[in-house]
Structure 1
Amino acid sequence: MATSATEERRERRFLGHPRGLATLFMTEMWERFSFYGMRSILVLFLAASAADGGLGLRGGTAKALVGVYSAMVYLVTLPGGWISDRVLGPRLAVLYGGLVIMLGHIAMAIPGGAAFVYLGLTLIIAGTGLLKPNIATLVGHLYRQDEDARRDAGFSIFYMGINLGAFLAPLVVGTLGQKVSWHLGFGMAAVGMALGLVQYVLGRGHLPDGRPPRRLTAEERRHLRTAVAAGCAAVVAVVLLGVATGTLTLDNVTWALAVIPLIVAVAYFAFMFFGSHEITPDERARLRAYVWLFVAASMFWMVYDQAATELSTFAQNKTDLSVGGWEMPSSWLQAINPIMVILLAPVFAALWVRTGTRLSTPLKFSVAMVLVGLSFVIMMFAAAEATRGAKVSVLWLVVTYLIQTTGELCLSPVGLSVTTKLAPKAFASQMIGLWYLAVAVGDAVGGQMTRLAGTVLSEPVYFLLLGLIAVATGAALAAGIRPLRVMMAEHAPPRA
């Protein structure tokens, strides 16, 4: 017993948790620093003229590209998890993912034109697909099966690292990118990922076993090589056909990529409902309820993640950012959300514990939808004021982000929790990937929706339209709370 206690004291060296949590906390913090730092200036760089060091894309194209990029980042977590399970294992998947991400930021730091930008974005997408799902897997593996409470606390600390990195990123990367050089900002994102990799390698001895749970057999590897070769040949054929017909344009590529998450989502649900016989009738009922939550979550992210596109350009072009005669970088406003999450997350966690089953999951989703919709209704008033010619107060965006953060805390952690609860036993590990797929669908659709702003629709009408759609979705979800709770087997408490 004495030896066991001594070993436990040696292991608990990071806020009472296994030392490996410190390694994963810092890795995720720096990875999110690089991701959100680059994202805070990406649309501004893409839309900036060549004379200002940017790519000079049209506003609608730039915003659509950022939306598709964000969607692909979350979509590739599905194959990233599979590669870890069958080929690399989570430890190597995180390492290789971080290396690829760093190379992507380095490519974007090179002032070599559009080719380096697209190469960089592709590498970041691929690397994030390997790193994001598997670093969370490693956190879970730090704890024994009977340590549910400590595991939950460990994930809370881990998510704090996500928001800390997201908070610091716009202040550092955004400042350098907007005030000095876009490429210097991208370079700083690469430095952040490099720092995360260094401490990951140094702390790898404190991480759990990283072998894949079930390696591919020799026959499966042959089939995989054949499938990869066929996929690559198909991509090359499509590219060559596009070049030959003159249809290979950036706009057409973004439209095509935006459709992929929608197809994957429909195919995935169709497979679970009609292609798998391992799902019980009760699980199928819960899955039907989850479809409605999935749709609502997709619409939430469609609005919410426009912080990187429509709200970013509004902050840059139509917001008064002067502070005592100094022009604040517009990217700084994207630090509001993570600091609000850090401050409010404990409050909401305590609220959910205190209210118990009195506040149902569909009700929380409904509140989130109404809040994110109201945030865009507020932006409608800000955009209307901006049409008069003068730049608007930064407080419009501060209030918008505060309301959106409140909505996020009603939906994002609750959504992760209900995903694990409603997951059919045969799909328990894959359902988290399905939750990320909702983000991918929302970002893909939202990225294309931004094409309407300032072209087909005036900005005030655009904000109002999306705001009303979100509020209407929340109202419809609220109207269906009772049948959804029945399907979810989430029963209301008995009346007193």
Structure 2
Amino acid sequence: MSATSAVSAPQRGFFGHPRGLATLFFAEAWERFSYYGMKAILAYYLYRSTAEGALGLDKSYALSLVAIYGASVYMSGVAGGWLADRVLGGQRAVFHGGVLIMLGHVALALPIGVAGVYLGLVLIVLGTGLLKPNISTVVGGLYAADDPRRDAGFTIFYMGVNLGSFVAPLVCGALGEEIDWHLGFGAAAVGMALGLIVYRAGLRTLGDSAARPPYPLPEGERGRVLGRIAAIAVLAVGVVAVLVVTGALDGTGVINLISVLSIVLPVTYFTVMLRSGRTTDVERSRLTAYIPLFIAAALFWLLFEQSATVIAAFADERVDTTFLGLDFPPSFIQAINPVMIILCAPLFALLWVKLGKRQPSTPRKFAVSLLLIGVAYVLLMLASRGDAQTKVGFLWIIAMYLVMTCGELLLSPVGLSVTTKLAPRAFASQTMGLWFLASAAGQGIGAIVVRFYDPADPVPYFGVLGGVAIALGLVLVVTTPGIHRLMKGVD
């Protein structure tokens, strides 16, 4: 975003940051409450028995479905970024996306079985595609490109993400696992509604940040272009529906198809932006530097997002959920990571401000994040050794999440910030969508990888994934100087 749009927003008023950051902080907190509240109980609702009020699906398929849902959510960010850049502007895209997300949770809250699950997930995928990349673009637009508060601002914003993520499993998990699954999903719908209210009430504090599309479609072409896109989308959905109905493509086949698309889409998008005439030579060099960061982020999210799949199942089967005399549902374990973020994020934000220009470069931060999440999986490997009937102590899970969270703080908020700085001006919101494609690719690959998880012997699974992350982290350490040169002055 330009410095002009940043100046139009009030620049003080929220702990030394623009007042608009408070609006986006609380709106995102409620949106993440809805997202993570639903996700905390989704796998359990899919694979637990019908006697427990759940759907009783095959566990391996259920874990793959949750992973591919996560991939689809972030894949849709490319379309949402394009609509913001060319049609809606970031601020309107955020609001419309929130409405779709709320309707998706309402569908999940209705007791209509598998049909409600599929309808709800589709609506949430479409809505998150509009909201998720564009709310980060609006945050970036509150700051001038050279504002030293920028990384700290994104870290504070990331605390809002984790405030909602912390409360969500406790509320939705307790309602869903202990009372009724649909009450848990209904609470997620209420959370998104509150997020929409906060966002509309504070809209004036955002100024001109992403208020208008930077490259709007010409009036004479808008109808034709949008009509063509809608026709292609309907045709694609129709073809897949016919294949499913006729039995040529089953649920596993759909998951595999989306997994392939999660890889093809970012490769295609990098190619388009690198070859575009609207991308300058300096921007092209920065995009090239972005590729290894993207690959590192994809591997990180492949491991991290298994909190809602393999790690959730591991907690359900192998972890002693009694701690300090309290016994709690397995879904509560997913609140540990947000607690760690809330405790550690201010320390990281202060560290970056204190170090200023002396802080490690972005590639170095990414490298350390991979090393840390690799170590987290090694801890899981060590914890899961021995008799499968023996419950794993809760402190192992706390230690694993602490290490993994430190890696997350070195990658996720920093990745949001560097994406807004490396993005070609003509593809501002779309590049933010590309950042979320790293999570899509990771979870798309993860939808296949999770099938190798063996509850009876999880040691090889955790060990191999942890070793791969550590190896790639070391490679990134070695190549950091070359990547930094390609970034052309961006730290």
Normalized against structure 1, the TM-score is what? 0.88
The answer to whether the 8 A contact 1:360-1:490 is kept is: no
1:312 deviates by: 0.8
Q: Deviations over 1:427-477 (max 9, x none)?
A: 44432222111111111111220011018x931111111111111111222
2:56 is paired with a residue of what secondary structure?
coil
Q: Counterparts of 2:271 and 2:326 in 1: how far apart (Å)?
A: 55
What's the % identity of the aligned pairs? 50
CA distance in 1, matches of 2:329, 2:174: 6
Distance 1:325 1:483, change over 3 A: closer
Contact 1:286 1:488 in 2 (8 A): yes
Q: Report the secondary structure of 1:480's partner residue.
A: helix
Contact 1:368 1:411 in 2 (8 A): yes
Shift of 1:240: 1.2
Report the AA paired with residue 104 of structure 1: G
SS of the residue aligned with 2:313? helix
Displacement of 1:142 = 5.1
| Corresponding residue number in structure 2 for 1:200 | 199
Say if 1:86 and 1:215, in contact at 8 Å, map to a contact too: yes
Question: What does 1:256-271 align with in structure 2 at a 5 Å threshold?
Answer: 256-271=257-272
Specify the code of the residue in structure 2 equivalent to 1:354. L
Q: 2:422, 2:391 → 1: CA distance?
A: 47
Q: CA deviation at 1:485?
A: 3.3
Quote the offset at 1:180 in angstroms: 1.2
Relative to structure 1, the CA distance from residue 207 to residue 423 in structure 2 (aligned partners, 3 Å threshold; closer, same or farther) is: closer
Q: How does 1:261-300 map to 2 (within 5 A)?
A: 261-273=262-274, 275-300=275-300
Residue aligning to 1:191: 190
Q: Are the aligned partners of 1:385 and 1:392 in contact in 2 as well (CA < 8 Å)?
A: no
SS at match of 2:386: helix
| Structure 1 range deviating more: 320-329 or 276-285 | 276-285
- After TM superposition, the structure 1 = structure 2 runs for residues 20-419 of structure 1, keeping only pairs within 5 Å, are 20-141=20-141, 145=144, 148=147, 154-208=153-207, 210-216=211-217, 217-244=219-246, 246-273=247-274, 275-323=275-323, 326-352=326-352, 353-354=354-355, 356-357=357-358, 359-387=360-388, 389-419=389-419
CA distance in 1, matches of 2:418, 2:63: 31
Aligned partner of residue 384 in structure 1, secondary structure: coil
SS at match of 1:76: helix
CA contact (8 A) 1:386 1:392 kept: no
- Matched residues in 2 for 1:191 and 1:71: separation? 24
Q: Show the counterpart of 2:441.
A: 441
Q: 1:234 to 1:122 in 2, by over 3 A?
A: closer
Q: Judge conservation of contact 1:68–1:443 (CA < 8 Å) in 2.
A: yes
- Measure, in 2, the Cα distance between the counterparts of 1:201 and 1:360: 37
2: distance between equivalents of 1:378 and 1:205? 47
Q: Cα distance, 1:163 vs. partner?
A: 1.4
1:489: Cα distance to partner? 4.6
CA distance in 2 between counterparts of 1:491 and 1:22 reads 26
Alignment CA distance shift 1:486-1:21 (3 Å): closer
Seen in structure 2, the aligned counterparts of structure 1 residues 30 and 276 have a Cα distance that, compared at 3 Å, is same
User: C-alpha distance in 1, partners of 2:140/2:11?
Assistant: 16
- Note if contact 1:170-1:334 (Cα within 8 Å) is conserved in structure 2: yes
| Deviates most, 10-19 or 282-291 | 10-19
Give 2:3's aligned residue: none
Q: 1:432 to 1:205 in 2, by over 3 A?
A: closer
Indicate the residue corresponding to 2:5 in structure 1.
none
Distance 1:20 1:232, change over 3 A: same
Residue identity in the other structure for 2:397:
L
Of 442-451 and 205-214, more deviation after overlay is shown by 205-214
TM-score by length of 2: 0.89
CA change 1:425–1:89 in 2 (3 A) is: closer
Distance (whole Å) between structure 1 residues aligned to residue 50 and residue 216 of structure 2? 48
The answer for the alignment partner of 1:3 in structure 2 is none
Question: Where in structure 2 are there 5+ consecutive unaligned residues?
Answer: 1-7
CA drift of 1:359 comes to 3.0
Distance 1:418 1:19 in 2: 22
Partner of 1:4: none
Q: Distance in 2 between matches of 1:163 and 1:358?
A: 24
Q: Greater relative contact order: 1 or 2 (C-alpha under 8 angstroms, separation 6 or more)?
A: 2
Superposed CA deviations along residues 320-353 of structure 1, whole A, max 9, x for unmatched, are: 1124665211122211111211221232234344
Whole-angstrom CA distance in 2 between matches of 1:467 and 1:146: 36
- CA distance in 2: counterparts of 1:282 and 1:207, whole angstroms: 29
Change (3 A) 1:416 1:25: closer
Alpha-carbon spacing, 1:430–1:357, altered in 2? closer, same or farther (3 Å)? farther
Give the residue type in structure 2 aligned to 1:347.
L
Contact 1:321–1:328 (CA under 8 A) maintained in structure 2: yes
What is the deviation of 1:491?
Answer: 11
Amino acid at match of 2:240: V
Structural RMSD (CA): 2.8
- Aligned-residue offset at 1:381: 1.6
Distance in 2 (CA, whole Å) between partners of 1:483 and 1:294 is: 15
Residues 247-299 of structure 1 show CA distances to partners (whole Å, capped at 9, x for unaligned) of 332111111111112111111122233x3244455544443332122111111
CA 1:214–1:296: 2 relative to 1, 3 Å: closer
Matched AA of 1:346:
P
Structure 1 residues 155 and 357: CA distance shift in structure 2, 3 A: closer
Deviations 1:361-400 (A, max 9, x none): 332222111111111111112222352x111111111111
Give the CA deviation at 1:32.
0.7
User: Could you tell me how far apart the structure 2 residues matched to 1:43 and 1:474 are?
Assistant: 30
Q: 1:254 to 1:215 in 2, by over 3 A?
A: same
8 Å CA contact 2:152, 2:349 repeated in 1:
no
Counterpart in the other structure of 1:460:
459
The residue identity in structure 2 corresponding to 1:61 is Y
